[in-house]
Structure 1
């Protein structure tokens, strides 16, 4: 049986700054208790000789090698820009007020 009580739920709600009604506390007490109990069951069978898995089918990344290639010069990159300062793109601020 889990150690999740209504007082524990109220305490966790206070830490998370979440206002809960008494019916929500009662509901979450059962739900969180069930989660803790299920984790305990999994922990019982998760022994060092059982290999952990994150996916049932072995996967591997398909990334290409990171090899530098031919790139644009600064002048070429800025050639089609609507606004620049000679070495960087100039864009309108999108956060806060215009500067």
Structure 2
């Protein structure tokens, strides 16, 4: 696959990246090298080799889904610096 400046321009547009002209040549050579590695891997004969989905044979090891008691509201709010009625008050983190 040929990596040219038109391809880099298209990729930068799709990724919404502002790539400076000085960086384009370096990026082009890096992409060519990466694609070369992938093409080299495609030359391997993988006939008879089962695809690897996971590194180990283990499947999801999860705890049992059991209903347990929770902390009472008064106990949870006991050490709260700011509270209002039954709720914690925290500084606003989302700007409008």
Fold similarity call, TM over 0.5 = yes
TM-score (norm 2): 0.65
Off by >6 Å, runs of 4+ in structure 1: none
Q: Deviations over 1:19-75 (max 9, x none)?
A: 322x422222221012112223323437574322554xx274665334332321212
| RMSD, aligned CA | 3.0
Distance 2:39 2:67 in 1: 49
| 2:11 equivalent in structure 1 | 12
Distance 1:14 1:82 in 2: 48
SS of 1:64's partner is coil
Which stretches in structure 1 are left out of the alignment for 5+ residues? Answer: none
CA contact 1:13–1:20 (8 Å) conserved in 2: no
Which range moved further: 44-53 or 24-33? 44-53
TM-score (norm 1): 0.63
Distance 2:30 2:54 in 1: 24
Aligned pair count reads 93
Which stretches in structure 2 are left out of the alignment for 5+ residues? Answer: none
1:1-99 map, 5 Å: 2-15=1-14, 16-21=16-21, 23-45=22-44, 47=46, 49-50=48-49, 51-52=51-52, 55=55, 58=56, 60=58, 63-96=62-95
**Higher strand content, 1 or 2:** 2
1:95, distance to aligned residue in structure 2 (A): 4.2
